[in-house]
Amino acid sequence: MRFDEFLSEVLYNSEKGYYFRKRIGEDYYTATSFEKLFSWTFGKYFIKLGIENILEIGFGEGHFAREVIEFYRLHKKNINYYVYERAKRGYINDVMHIDSIIQLRNFEGVIFQNEVLDAIEFRRFVFKNGSWYELYVKDMKEFYIQEIEDTEVLEYLPKEVNEGLIYDISIKALELLKSEYEILKRGFIVIVDYGYERREILERFPNGSLTCYYKHRILDNPFENLYEQDITYFIDFTLIKDFLKKLGMTLVVDKSQGEFLIENGVLDIAEFITRNMSEYERFKIFNKLKSLVLDFYNFRVLVFSKDFLV
Ligand SMILES: C[S@@+](CC[C@H](N)C(=O)[O-])C[C@H]1O[C@@H](n2cnc3c(N)ncnc32)[C@H](O)[C@@H]1O
């Protein structure tokens, strides 16, 4: 089977799949677990843009959604919050759950996703004797090399690379972005994720960027801990930017997560959250702030606009 089919099974099988069973925090944390610092800063940013409709893709356990709604209410702003989650792990209140993003045709507002693109099944290609081949999976336990069947994929692969290099790419993630673009009449697509520009991806990860997270350890064998570990890869931001620009979107923000949060007032948010706290509680929150800004060093915030002047 192709590697993305293997990932569909171990990550998204509706009974055994990793994302259907595991809770965030068991193997890794996301920025949405950081005491409203992340969510409220985005809330502030969305209010500044005049946004009333938000569609969150892959809302996970719903921290971000709940907190952004809370922030809007605190500021007496109107909000309609829609969520679409592929691995349904329960419903949250105050949002509209949708079963397919096509339900929101002609959407005006923000389509937001944090750490979703990296969680979508990816494929692995290897450059050998001057051509690209694909890595397939045998018996759920090892890779083997095969010719590429759908040569259209070649248009997304880097052109000049070293012999033996492995490049990881999710065509399905590009398809998701295309659907987001298609339902969006006017507004923004916001992507927060970890990765690098293409040149750096190729330099840093000659063996591919596949990474497994298991009990807060970083592992590299996707065939161990089947169904029990997260299997992910680093986003090639050059690919994502070229793809959305080609569709007709305009890139309006391209910043590290830390820079974005600082510029959009995370320090004021931290002051506000901690205003009635003890010194010790304040210390803990500011430590989280430090971690959110510094430890997530390879995370970026990309904002693309469609028919919207900023
Ligand atoms: C790493 S988790 C991040 C969850 C949440 N956004 C957060 O930051 O805590 C990735 C989530 O994206 C969801 N997901 C992956 N592909 C998706 C898709 N095509 N549409 C909707 N959700 C998706 C997964 O089920 C999973 O809940």
154's tokens: 């070649």
Whether this model's pTM surpasses 0.85: yes
Q: Which atom of ligand 1 is nearest to the CA of 89?
A: 27
24 lines ligand 1 (CB under 6 A): yes
Residues 265, 82: Cα–Cα separation, whole Å: 25
Question: Contact at 8 Å (CB) between 53 and 109?
Answer: yes
The full set of domains in the chain, from first to last, is 3-306 (3.40.50.12710)
The amino acid sitting at 165 is: L
Query: Which residues make beta-bridge pairs with 217?
Result: 214
pLDDT of 88 > 80? The answer is: no
pLDDT of 237 > 90? The answer is: yes
87 lines ligand 1 (CB under 6 A): yes
Residue whose CA lies nearest to ligand 1 atom number 13: 58
Pocket test for ligand 1, best of 37, 42, 67, 116 (most atoms within 8 A of CB): 116
Given the structure tokens 């506000």, which residue do they identify?
Answer: 272
**Phi and psi angles of residue 77, each rounded to the nearest 5 degrees, phi first:** -110, 145
Residue 309: per-residue pLDDT: 67
Which band of pLDDT confidence, cut at 50, 70 and 90, is reported for residue 90? low
Residues 68, 36: Cα–Cα separation, whole Å: 8
Question: Contact at 8 Å (CB) between 291 and 239?
Answer: no
296 lines ligand 1 (CB under 6 A): no
Given the structure tokens 């677990």, which residue do they identify?
Answer: 33
257 lines ligand 1 (CB under 6 A): no
Strands 184-196 and 299-306, bridge-based pairing: antiparallel
Question: Contact at 8 Å (CB) between 302 and 190?
Answer: yes
Residue whose CA lies nearest to ligand 1 atom number 25: 87
Question: Contact at 8 Å (CB) between 288 and 281?
Answer: no
Helix (H, G, I), strand (E, B) or coil at 71: helix
Residue whose CA lies nearest to ligand 1 atom number 8: 114
* 193 contact partners, CB below 8 Å, separation of at least 6: 113, 114, 115, 116, 117, 118, 235, 299, 300
269 lines ligand 1 (CB under 6 A): no
214's tokens: 């298991």
Residue 22: per-residue pLDDT: 87
Residue 308: per-residue pLDDT: 76
pLDDT of 29 > 90? The answer is: no
Residue 225: per-residue pLDDT: 95
| CB-CB neighbours of 206 under 10 Å | 15
Q: Give the residue-averaged pLDDT of 174-202.
A: 98
234 lines ligand 1 (CB under 6 A): no
Residue whose CA lies nearest to ligand 1 atom number 12: 58
Pocket test for ligand 1, best of 86, 99, 190, 213 (most atoms within 8 A of CB): 86
- In a 13 Å sphere around the CA of 250, the CA atoms on its Cβ side amount to 9
57 lines ligand 1 (CB under 6 A): yes
122's tokens: 């990816």
176 lines ligand 1 (CB under 6 A): yes
Which band of pLDDT confidence, cut at 50, 70 and 90, is reported for residue 263? very high
Helix (H, G, I), strand (E, B) or coil at 107: strand
The CA 64 to ligand 1 mean position distance, Å, reads 12
Q: Which atom of ligand 1 is nearest to the CA of 12?
A: 25
The mean pLDDT of the chain is 95
**Phi and psi angles of residue 78, each rounded to the nearest 5 degrees, phi first:** -80, 140
> What Cα–Cα distance (Å) separates residue 223 from each residue in 6, 118, 206, 229?
10, 18, 20, 10
Q: Which atom of ligand 1 is nearest to the CA of 101?
A: 20
Residue whose CA lies nearest to ligand 1 atom number 10: 116
Q: Give the residue-averaged pLDDT of 88-117.
A: 91
> What Cα–Cα distance (Å) separates residue 193 from each residue in 136, 143, 234, 280, 296?
26, 27, 8, 31, 10
Question: Contact at 8 Å (CB) between 232 and 284?
Answer: no
Q: Give the residue-averaged pLDDT of 197-217.
A: 97
115 lines ligand 1 (CB under 6 A): yes
